[in-house]
Amino acid sequence: MPERTIYFDHAATTALDARVLAMMLPYFTTEYGNASSIYTLGRHAMQAIDNAREQVAAILGCRPTEVTFTGCGSESDNLAIKGMAYATQKKGNHLITSAIEHHAVLHTCQYLERFGFKTTYLPVDSDGRVDPDEVGRAITDQTVLVSVMYANNEVGTIEPVAEIGRICRARKVPFHIDAVQAGGALPLDVAALNADLLSLSAHKFYGPKGVGILYVRQGMRLLPQLQGGSQERGRRAGTENVAGIVGAATALRLAQEELPQVTPRITALRDRVIAGMLTIPRTRLTGHPTERLPNNASFCFEGVEGESILLNLDLLGIAASTGSACTSGSVDPSHVLVAMGLPLEWSRGSLRLTLGKENTDADVDVLLAALPGIIEKLRSLGGLTVAA
């Protein structure tokens, strides 16, 4: 077993930053109060949450009261979509999203369809981009929410969200952005993005797992999805995860502050990966060539199974992803690659490499030395049989 994992799966999750852990630790031990308690220990906890909310608000360029802490990115997406849909049900029953959203959005829309809502799933082009004009054309007088992701989690394509938001605002339709993959990589000014709702998840930017953030613009009516206490201004019942909230805010602040140093370094590593991979025959870069997350290098190799690539990389201590979901033994091609029009013999051979701030040129050297041989070996073993 190799000594150290070379980790190229930062879109899945990231390691907790040591500085974030240091900020969190007291709230597990000495500062264990419940933020709803009125004695000193409780007030300390509430103070910590208030500080965290202010930090997040400063980054998003919004009011602290517009920031809600949740239990994960999926919960933020659920609260945004169900919360808006149910609150505005009398106005209409139509939702608009894209075909390449994360399942936290797609499955939420599909769930709402069981209760009388209808969803338009916007197509994307071969680079994975939504056409903002399509959003305009899809809006009807029944539309109560548009939800489009900031950047795609599989292929890294950055969506024209500010433009989509502009169209939604002109048509007076609330606009939700799933910014889970963009949180540690792209600017998050909600006014510039024309966002009414925006979801984040701390574990994607070196924060703790189990903490999400939802921005809700003042004036938006949102039906809470958890009933109980009046925490989070009645938006989300449940005793607050104080340590997690402190960690999420610290991680977001550090990630955004360090963007000017980290982004050029990661982009250079990513571009080395892309250049190296494209020397392998029958290989395609997936996602937009330039409008893509700085850390995302995604590919399809014709006639190879993505899972076989992963297993071979794992033997060398390299962690990566196909970006696609496996269901009960059968490997379905990713809905993202299908929506982008990739044929099955290509989409089955997908590989997503997502870099992070601890990756080095030496990590990329190991990858580039290994992968061409792995692909060649797998192809020589017979590759894929694709049903007609």
> Rule CB under 6 A: which residues touch ligand PLP?
72-74, 77, 102, 104, 149, 153, 178, 180-181, 201, 212
Q: Which residues contact 133 (CB under 8 A, 6 or more apart)?
A: none
Q: How far is the CB of 79 from ligand PLP (least distance, A)?
A: 12
Residues designated as active site: 326
| 279: exposed, middle or buried (Cβ count in 10 Å: 0-12, 13-18, 19+) | exposed
Q: How far is the CB of 62 from ligand PLP (least distance, A)?
A: 20
Give whichever of 76 and 283 is closer to ligand PLP, judged by the CB atom.
76
Sign of the CA dihedral 85, 88, 90, 94? negative
The secondary structure of the chain in percent helix, strand, coil, rounded to multiples of 5, reads 40, 15, 45
Q: How far is the CB of 181 from ligand PLP (least distance, A)?
A: 5
Per-residue tokens: 15? 């390691």
Give whichever of 73 and 247 is closer to ligand PLP, judged by the CB atom.
73
354 bridge partner residues: 9, 296
Q: How far is the CB of 149 from ligand PLP (least distance, A)?
A: 5
How many whole angstroms separate alpha carbon 218 and alpha carbon 320?
40
Give whichever of 164 and 180 is closer to ligand PLP, judged by the CB atom.
180
Q: How far is the CB of 211 from ligand PLP (least distance, A)?
A: 8
Q: Which long-range contacts (CB under 8 A, 24 or more apart) does 217-223 make?
A: 217/62, 217/66, 217/190, 218/63, 218/65, 218/66, 220/84, 220/174, 220/196, 221/84, 221/87, 221/88, 222/79, 222/80, 222/83, 222/84, 222/87, 222/197, 223/82, 223/83, 223/86, 223/87
Give whichever of 266 and 375 is closer to ligand PLP, judged by the CB atom.
266
How many whole angstroms separate alpha carbon 378 and alpha carbon 373?
9
Give whichever of 98 and 201 is closer to ligand PLP, judged by the CB atom.
201
